[in-house]
Structure 1
């Protein structure tokens, strides 16, 4: 082997690190091609006999030099984020964060890191996690920092229309107006919800012991089908015969994992099986849109009507493309069904785990909704103070989006000052609300289920609602949160007013939270309960 080959290959690795650090690629396709060719080209350039041994030596020296250079720089005091503490493996490689995301417990991992290192933790080579309410507000509010690659490069190929979750700036503002028009007032949707809640209670009467999480998921999908497409799913009656839930879970997991390493999207998307999963989801959305167009919206203007129509107020005179309306309408189904299911299931689990609070909920319901009354209307729900407190406390302890995505400080912006801390340009920022909601600086006894903290006469010392953001805040706040709160209150009120519940025999209730896995939206395991119809039930 020639004496000059190894030093030259090592130097070439260092040069590549400098080049790609200075001119960071947005796609890995060309970069991988260049990296694959260079050691062979170097061998040809140096000359001498061409052998497999020399070729392998060139590649090994090149890749070892390149990798060591990257790792040493990332953990060195010369890196722009060197001032932020964090695990060495997290600083060295994004693949460490990818592994944590794959396991589904990154929300627990990040809270553990904040418990160790404080409110600012470096969790990736160019990413920090912030557990500070002021910083969260400055980052997420209007005039803060735009979405980062986790959203804008969240696993989809460029040929697929991005949903509202994946766009920023004026495009997001324009698309958001259709959502705002549809969900500005929720009173018109009360009959829709009332009908579905009555159906759910009726079906639950036939189940002495059942998986309540599954019923909640079927209910939320049926409700969102009514709200978005004027009907069409009927999972409560027929079950999930098309494995819609499984398909959505797989899609969300892939998107979440690719969001950890967005530069790899183009490469991985070229793999047929992975590419088909994205196009299959998009085709499914298009088919739903086509069916909705064929059937019409009926008497109620559904969400698809607002997403696919020009603004009657004249702000948008051009109808959005069908692909845009299809992408956003499917986003509504995915986002709302899983988040509402998780919250409903968590409320039931918390209350059955705390019998005194469960009894207090039923006492309030019996008082506010006398026997023989129908489902509570909005006026009666406004008097369910303790039920609302239990919902808020469940959202605090089990937020349905516990880690969220990231924001990114723009390049060539000179960095940003956030809550008095300088954050360099190009840095991705994560605001994990699971950690924020359990921060003892903002909430007394942060890991305990204490619904009374949400009542006016609470005696708890710390209760800072600025640190409570289960629906996010700012321009990206959940457009459907009013509808979600109405849905949660109606379903849970009906459930606890009509039935006495307890955990099913043999069900390990203490282990249930470990089944909650975070792939952007939380998935949860079964919640097996026994139901007994109350004699003074009102439906």
Structure 2
């Protein structure tokens, strides 16, 4: 290969046209040889998948940027089986055993996170608990765990309750005439960002107070496609190039937003009184962490703990509003369990068993992170769900595909919370196939807080209001695209205040 390109280069020197032709010819030859290798010689050549996905990463990049990659991966699993090749060096799994094999502990090691997904700009910014290596991750998670303990949740309850009170107050103001549909996607985002902002930064964003997005929050919501572009480019460009693009071109205003985050969290770090928030454990160890690590962890917690929770709640409103029988049963559970609205707390909502089943079914049908979270197979290769996979392969369980697989679920396209309550009709459902918070030592640290927060917000709204989807929200999910997270359109919902008992 090098001799062929050298020959072309030798006879192109001194002639610009020849040089251009040499570059085109060299690129074409390189591309053709790569395609040939990927199809016929690559260690993954025997794994099934479309010819285009096996030949080149361009297929995957195109489908990612189309916003429909998770749905396409699901269709491919239906066609080819439980493991498919979606890029020359990437496999997707929907076997439930793959959760343990890919994301679990394996003696003295665990599979590393794929840096092309998690660190597409390389090591030019500090690590957070999501991107850190095993040793640093253990230190960070141990310190962060204090903020997610049951003790901390009880201490955080008044703070969270105040924001939910303000949400209810704002919704009552906006729906007083009963004729105007409220944009619930925004109101849920306002609430979760303000809550997690207070718990992560030490101060909220004023979204509920001002009834609008804070500019920093709006940037997070609006830049989903930009991150998808960066991850697609990472397949072909070195990390330092993407870092420059991110800093100067792709994410407009990113520097200002990072500086806002840093200034805000530094004010929180100056508070000498112990505060029961999510980063108190890290603040105690601030002298032992590298510069910027506390700030980046706070930013990660805000992104992960707000947008995903608001997404699931938005999905719950859509799915419940689309299934009136389920909505009525859930509303009845809330209003008969509590004799007064003041009895609905972060802890007491844990008794709502039907609500938990509804949220689990919403997580199955509308997972906040619908794609796969990739890991890299270690040296020597590894067996995943009975399949030998060579080293350096990128592997993942794709949530949308496994959640809608007929192999694991009876009537997977239908909304049935009863499948999580032991209903005989769904006795053969493989419940462990669904892991919306991932699995293993890197699973979501905020799982319990997220469940409690979702139940509290949903219970308070259903206790106070009757809800109904506006006609223009009927095809809400079908109109969405996925760029790691959902790019959600507006969700218009009618709210009617009721007197549920004091």
Would you call these one fold, judging by a TM-score over 0.5? yes
Q: Give per-residue Cα distances to partners, 1:58-83, cap 9 Å, x unaligned.
A: 2232122111111111122x221111
Aligned partners of 2:283 and 2:274: how far apart in 1? 17
Aligned residues, how many? 488
1:392 aligned onto 2:360: yes
Question: What's the counterpart of residue 4 of structure 1?
Answer: none
Tell me, yes or no, if the aligned pair for 1:441 and 1:462 is still in contact at 8 Å.
no
3-state SS, counterpart of residue 163 of structure 1? coil
1:128 aligned onto 2:91: yes
- Please report the RMSD computed on the Cα atoms of aligned residues, expressed in angstroms: 2.3
Deviates more, 1:176-185 or 1:243-252: 243-252
Aligned partners of 1:537 and 1:518: how far apart in 2? 41
Tell me, yes or no, if the aligned pair for 1:91 and 1:122 is still in contact at 8 Å.
yes
Residue pairs, 1:84-233, within 5 angstroms: 84-143=47-106, 144-154=110-120, 156-185=121-150, 186-208=153-175, 209-233=181-205
Aligned partners of 1:340 and 1:240: how far apart in 2? 18
Q: Give per-residue Cα distances to partners, 1:145-164, cap 9 Å, x unaligned.
A: 2211234432x353321322
Please identify the structure whose Cα radius of gyration is greater.
Answer: 1
Tell me, yes or no, if the aligned pair for 1:152 and 1:167 is still in contact at 8 Å.
no
3-state SS, counterpart of residue 331 of structure 2? helix
Question: What's the counterpart of residue 245 of structure 1?
Answer: 217
| Aligned CA distance change for structure 1 residues 241 and 359 (closer, same or farther; 3 Å) | closer
Aligned partners of 2:300 and 2:224: how far apart in 1? 11
Aligned partners of 2:259 and 2:225: how far apart in 1? 19
2:261 to 285, 288, 294: 285
Aligned partners of 1:93 and 1:10: how far apart in 2? 24
Tell me, yes or no, if the aligned pair for 1:9 and 1:59 is still in contact at 8 Å.
no
Residue pairs, 1:54-73, within 5 angstroms: 54-73=18-37
| Aligned CA distance change for structure 1 residues 276 and 255 (closer, same or farther; 3 Å) | same
Question: What's the counterpart of residue 267 of structure 1?
Answer: 241
**CA shift for structure 1 position 376:** 1.7
1:454 aligned onto 2:420: yes
Aligned partners of 2:158 and 2:19: how far apart in 1? 72
| Aligned CA distance change for structure 1 residues 276 and 526 (closer, same or farther; 3 Å) | closer
Tell me, yes or no, if the aligned pair for 1:342 and 1:523 is still in contact at 8 Å.
no
1:319 aligned onto 2:288: yes
1:444 to 396, 407, 410: 410
Question: What's the counterpart of residue 276 of structure 2?
Answer: 301
Structure 1: state its 5+ residue gaps: 1-7, 14-37, 45-49, 311-316
**CA shift for structure 1 position 399:** 0.8
3-state SS, counterpart of residue 270 of structure 1? helix
Aligned partners of 1:175 and 1:345: how far apart in 2? 31
Aligned partners of 1:492 and 1:329: how far apart in 2? 26
3-state SS, counterpart of residue 432 of structure 2? helix
Structure 2: state its 5+ residue gaps: 176-180
Q: TM-score, normalised by structure 1?
A: 0.85
